[in-house]
Structure 1
Amino acid sequence: MPFTTPFADRLNNVETSAIRELFKLLGKPGIISFAGGFPDSAMFDVDGIREAVNAALTEEPGAALQYGATEGYQPLREQIASFMKGKGTQALAPEELIVTTGSQQALDLLGKTLISPGDKVIVEGPTFLATIQCFRLYGAELITAPVDGDGVQTDALEKLIEQHKPKFVYLIPTFGNPSGAMLNLERRQRVLEMAVKHNTLIVEDDPYGDLYFGEAPPPSLLALSASVPGSRELLVHCGSLSKVLSPGLRVGWMVGPAELLAKATMCKQFSDAHTSTFAQATAAQYLKAGRMPATLAKVRAVYAERATTMGHALRRELGDAISFVQPQGGLFVWARLTGAGGKVADGGELAKRAIEKGVAFVPGAPFYASQPDRATLRLSFATVGVDKIEEGVGRLRDAI
């Protein structure tokens, strides 16, 4: 007999990721893909990770292979706190963070602990697609704050906070997915000040902050909170090793108020008991070995070259048919079709044409919680060499 048991009502609010669906079309031989949102596997420090695995199994094999504390493997919490202090977050104790199964789980825990059906949550427009899906799964009404090349527009954000009094505000201040935008220092200060002024929780998602090209970005909201009295208690910070070390380890973390972390830990007990202790022990040994700075330097140099190549190629091949802000870090170019010269002005339509020409990207519309800009598109340069970037943009020119 067919399956007839009704599904939970919460599933009515979400649908399959448009990006995952797009991947089904990429089986065509010779496709050059700018669609992925993941790091280049050739950048993984395999030797360093292998040494970390061996060290974990040599120094504390019982702990690495046994069940562990839901809050996280203590040596890793200590290493993450030290890693964060190296980026300007000085007053961070290991007990102020929990380890999550990637930063994606941190978002799910926020949904479980904070969102009741009908609660309003402000997100950027555009924002991380999985965030839209996750928060909607728990019944949130998502309100969109506009973004420009300097990140979320704080004047508009404050008006939305005043109008909607959201449960919290979710931001990706540094090289956001998909926008690639970097929130400038003045706006970061404004965000923290308005958090205190309106007693509004701010969630800072920061998986890309270490992937900068040239100068380092402004300090994270977490690091800056020390200069805005009262803001630390209204801030959650989500971090990850997925984009800088390995997604396969599934190691992320969440810093937040003690009461929130306690509730999140309880919910995590129900879902996975704890993040893999073996993965945590491996990550702890890797950070302890001091290899991260060299790894980051290598990754930054490679991605910077690819980002520059893509920017030059887009300007040369597509001209005024496309507009974008050259990314200063991260994995993406966020662009908008202008329709100049009668060229295609719809990202979804161009995506179909592009597949026929042998190149793939992600249309921008799914990244909006409301009022999507259908002229937008996301191009990832992370997993494609410079020669293929040139060739792929040439194919994009033929499609447009």
Structure 2
Amino acid sequence: MTLPFATRLNNVETSAIRELFKLLGKPGIISFAGGFPDSAMFDVPGIKESAAKALAEEPGAALQYGATEGYEPLRTQLAHFMQAKGAQDVEPQGLIVTTGSQQALDLLGKTMISPGDKVIVEAPTFLATIQCFRLYGADLVTAPVDAHGVQTDKLEKLIAEHKPKLVYLIPTFGNPSGAMLSRERRLKVLELAKKYKTLVVEDDPYGDLYFGEAPPPSILALSREVPGSREWIAHCGSLSKVLSPGLRVGWLVAQPELLAKATMCKQFSDAHTSTFAQATAAQYLKSGRMPDTLHRVRQVYAERAKAMGDALQKDLGDAIEFTRPNGGLFFWARLTGNGGKLKDSGELAKRAIEKGVAFVPGAPFFATNPDLSTLRLSFATVGVDKIVEGVGRLGAAVSR
């Protein structure tokens, strides 16, 4: 029997990454495919203590239905968290709590995108965003990315030509590009938002995961330097990569009218994000443990990123091109085909599985004109020794 499904589903497909995970059951596979943090990095004692405090201090509020906008103590803590990173004008009432930043993106799709609307995304960009925006009928236009993020000169031409409903960017250690948008380009993005009166969505789940020097302030934080730009910025944040994905705590900062529409749509979908998770997160942020947690996570991921970069240079040589990331969870690379070696990352993925290593081919991260030679490698959940071994296997697969 075939059910009469909604026609909007014709615009989307099952995630290619989710499909890849079905192949990872083979014993001994070293996986660089995941896009998630290492569970060994979770501050389990701190989260346990925070959950206990939430139940001890406000059990009724933590276990009861809550406001759609979010648990007020958490909104306060998130505002402080944002202020400490330079977004000094963020107040508790200026954000809503979402069930992960993925829901924030979905709410933006619901509130902003009508079928046929032009939406500009980076090439490459987060696969789930491509799927989400297409579900609401967006006609996606892609802006090229280099090692310093979206190319703003080309972005301006695309905005002028297509007059998009919104522009979606991951400026800091993007998924999958790993790129970091320079301060100069961030200011240019703000100028473009103001000039063309175009909403810019800044997705920032990785900005706290830097190795060494901190990245430039967020586009939201820099908006104070471009008067009149603030109302054209929506900022999505998340605790998933820095605390725990299981809490499903994200947030959306935007102008009041957009927040009101997003809150209305959230009422229809889940009423509110888990109050217990919110109360736990609020207690954790209040406890002051986050700086030490972030320091530890940065050190571990920086070591793993260095190991992967060194191993790629050693074992693949001129068969691959990449820029070492300054933070985040990913390497974005391109096969060169030099020396007659493999250039198609989809074919390499099949060979790599046979060799006992997995990664994600780059094609699904492009909304248009996929580059079949690209691939994404995550170092987050693999120890240094396994990174070296896995890249060695990848080198053998390229040369086969």
TM-score by length of 2: 0.99
Give the match for residue 168 of structure 2.
170
Q: CA deviation at 1:249?
A: 0.1
Matching residue's letter, 1:87: K
The 5-angstrom pairing of residues 1-400 of structure 1 reads 2=1, 4-400=2-398
Deviation, structure 1 residue 5:
2.3
Give the Cα separation in 1 of the matches to 2:231 and 2:106: 20
User: Following the alignment from structure 2 to structure 1, what is the Cα–Cα distance between the partners of residues 233 and 8?
Assistant: 27
Provide structure 1 residue ranges, at least 5 long, that are not aligned to the other structure: none
1:19 shift after superposition: 0.1
| Aligned amino acid, residue 232 of structure 1 | R
Q: Secondary structure at the match of 1:237?
A: strand
**What is the CA–CA distance in structure 1 between the aligned matches of 2:369 and 2:234, rounded to whole Å?**
27
CA deviation after TM superposition for structure 1 residue 92, in Å: 1.1
- In structure 2, how many angstroms separate the alpha carbons of the residues matched to 1:304 and 1:184? 20
Secondary structure of the 2:376 match is strand
- For 1:267 and 1:91, the matched residues in 2 are separated by 25
Paired amino acid for 1:188 = R
Deviations 1:106-137 (A, max 9, x none): 00000100000000000000000000000000
Deviations 1:53-88 (A, max 9, x none): 000000000000000000000000000000011101
Q: Structure 2: how far apart are the matches of 1:101 and 1:5?
A: 29
State the distance in 1 between where 2:90 and 2:326 align: 27
Instruction: Give distance in 2, aligned partners of 1:317 and 1:277.
Output: 48
> C-alpha offsets along residues 335-371 of structure 1, whole Å, 9 cap, x if unaligned?
0000000000011010000000000000000000000
Structure 2 distance, partners of 1:346, 1:295, is 39
Runs of 4+ in 1 over 6 A off after TM superposition: none
Partner amino acid, structure 1, of 2:140: L
Q: Secondary structure at the residue paired with 1:323?
A: strand
- Structure 2 distance, partners of 1:236, 1:152, is 17
Secondary structure at 1:174 match in 2: coil
Q: Distance in 1 between matches of 2:95 and 2:134?
A: 25
Could you tell me which amino acid in structure 1 is paired with residue 176 of structure 2?
A: P
SS in 1 for 2:34: coil
Deviation at 1:91, TM superposition (A): 1.1
SS at 1:123 equivalent: strand
Shift of 1:327: 0.4
AA in 2 matched with 1:310: M
C-alpha distance in structure 1 between counterparts of 2:168 and 2:122, whole Å: 7
- Matched residue type, 1:253: W
The one-letter code of the counterpart of 2:320 is: I
Structure 2 CA distance for aligned equivalents of residues 5 and 218 of structure 1: 50
For residues 263 and 135 of structure 2, the distance between their equivalents in structure 1, rounded to whole angstroms, comes to 20
Distance in structure 1 (CA, Å) of the matches to 2:21 and 2:124: 21
- The RMSD of aligned alpha carbons is 0.4
Gaps of 5+ in 2: none
1:89-115 per-position Cα deviation (integer Å, ceiling 9, x unaligned): 111110000000000000000010000
- Partner letter of residue 217 of structure 1? P
Q: Does the residue aligned with 2:284 lie in a helix, a strand or coil?
A: helix
Find the aligned partners of 2:286 and 2:55 in 1 and give their Cα distance.
15
- Under a length normalisation based on structure 1, what TM-score does the superposition of the two structures give? 0.99
Structure 1 counterpart of 2:32, which letter?
F
The whole-number CA distance in structure 2 between the counterparts of 1:5 and 1:47 is: 48
Structure 1: how far apart are the matches of 2:275 and 2:336?
A: 49
Matched letter for residue 122 of structure 1 = I
Report Cα offsets for 1:371-394 as digits up to 9, x if no partner: 000000000000000000000000
- Aligned partner of 1:179: which letter? S
Q: Which amino acid aligns with 1:215?
A: E
Query: Aligned partners of 2:293 and 2:259: how far apart in 1?
Result: 30
Q: CA–CA distance in 2 between the matches of 1:63 and 1:40?
A: 31
The letter of the residue matching 2:94 is: E
Letter paired with 1:289: S
